[in-house]
Amino acid sequence: MANLEKTLVLIKPDAFSKHYSGDIIKIYEKEGFRIVAMKLLKMDERLASIHYAEHIGRPYYEDLVGFMTSAPIIAMVLEGEDAIARVRTLNGKTNPVEAAEGTIRKLYASSGSRNAVHASDSPENAEREIHIFFNETEILDGKYQPKA
């Protein structure tokens, strides 16, 4: 039986500012993921401190928060078979120099810290991260199918 999962994806300020959002979304859709929630927002310091709680106090935290609050982001919940692992593979390694050809980061990231996208790394983090950005009424039921 298929392992249907949901994962959080953030299109980060660098990709949004360079007008890569549509191209990135298209890659996820072409891979068969369903967008079950999506919103455009500007992350503030409070939201960043919740999302990046495990990074508070690390040397790069202030730069990370400054970057993530610098411009709008797009938050999405993608659903699909083995979505967490497949989305992370599709995103590529954090550093675009090390990312495989054709991955989102190889195509759209400029550095390891300005790397275009974020995706949840485990089922537990997906559950936690999704609910930082979305409440249950904003997430479509996975059985939703648009009318032809």
Which residues are designated catalytic?
Answer: 118
Starting from the edge strand earliest in sequence, which strands make up the sheet with 117-119, in order? 34-41, 73-81, 4-11, 117-119
DSSP 82: T
105 within 8 A of 33, measured Cβ to Cβ: no
> CA 68, CA 99: separation in Å to the nearest integer?
21
